[in-house]
A and B are shown apart, each in its own frame.
Chain A
Amino acid sequence: MLSMNDTSPAGGAPIPYMERTRLYYRALGYPSDYRWAHNETAPFTRLKRPLSQANIALITTSYPPGDYSDDNPPIKEVWSQAIASAPDGLYNQNLAWDKDSTHKKDRESYLPILALQRLAGDGVIGGLTEHFHGVPTDYSHRRTMEQDAPEILRRLVADGADAALLVPL
């Protein structure tokens, strides 16, 4: 594995989330451990044009805003919305993030539209694609691989994406 700029953090080692989550869910009384997707190698594709000309697609694991709750969660499905009409915030209360240590009041802390637009304005990237896209996190690797990932690919091709920035929570 190649690692650049990979110095030890001042504040301690990164949280071992898989182990922490296993112990937590056992304490919640779940009988079997979740198996995270595992691969030894990864694919690799080079940019086909300079970054300064590339259209970047932004992908999130959050959901469109709505009147949701724990008992009325959003539907798990791929979704897209025009960047030009992006809402001020997305729904993600149903996702596993650190609700004790931080908050989600600033959309830019998990959906960096303003930052990417600034980079486009500065000529660092060519621009953003017309839409940003949402892909649900699913317990089933199969549903992600057979349904959601191919649907995201279709939408990115239709959107003319040269590359993608994926931001999981």
Chain B
Amino acid sequence: MSLTARHLEENGIPTVVLGSGRDIVEHCAVPRFLFVDFPLGNPCGIPYDRDMQLELARLAVDLLASADGPQTTVRAPFEWNGAPDWREVYNRVRPEDKEALLAEGERRRIRMAKRPKRA
């Protein structure tokens, strides 16, 4: 998605990325980025919180006009309202899960091998 933003921008269409994977987006380097520090999946706001969703959309489009230069990151002023340990548990690798993770990896490799490849 960040590569697409860069391509649009290079061709005259200003862009803003609204997302939660800060290091990935900034590693690619995009023109404008509204960072929402939530679990991956709800960058536009907590589900069903229409007031927060409106404010996040407003902050994102405001960046289109207010950013002075590329690689502008703004952190949205909201905190996740779910379990406080959500950052720790995401894709956590624990020693006791070693065999289960290897088995899951094997399932994925078998599944991917069956899929048609893109041209």
Interface residues of A (CB under 8 A from B): 1-7, 9-12, 14-18, 20-21, 23-25, 27-30, 36-48, 50-51, 54, 56-57, 59, 61, 70-71, 73, 76, 96-106, 108-112, 114-116, 118-119, 124-125, 135, 137-138, 140-141, 143-145, 148-150, 152-153, 156-157, 161-169
Given A10-B79, A165-B16, decide whether A28 and B101 contact each other with a Cβ distance below 8 A: yes
Within 8 A of A (CB), among B33-48: 35, 37-48
Once bound together, how far apart are the Cα atoms of A144 and B24, in whole Å?
Answer: 16
Residues of chain B contacted by A1 (CB below 8 angstroms): 26, 71, 73
Interface residues of B (CB under 8 A from A): 1-19, 21-31, 35, 37-48, 50, 53-54, 56-58, 60-62, 64-65, 67-75, 77, 79-80, 82-84, 86-87, 89-91, 93, 97-98, 101-102, 104-106, 108-109, 111, 114-115, 118
Question: What distance in Å separates the Cβ of A109 from its nearest Cβ neighbour in chain B?
Answer: 4
Mostly, the A contact residues are loop
Given A28-B105, A144-B3, decide whether A165 and B60 contact each other with a Cβ distance below 8 A: yes
The 11 listed contacts between A and B (C-beta, < 8 Å) are A17-B22, A21-B91, A36-B28, A37-B28, A42-B9, A43-B9, A61-B1, A98-B40, A109-B45, A152-B8, A164-B5
Structural contact, A15 and B90, CB atoms closer than 8 A: yes
Residues of chain A contacted by B3 (CB below 8 angstroms): 37, 141, 144-145, 149
Structural contact, B72 and A51, CB atoms closer than 8 A: no
Interchain pairs with CB closer than 8 A, number: 293
Question: What distance in Å separates the Cβ of B95 from its nearest Cβ neighbour in chain A?
Answer: 10
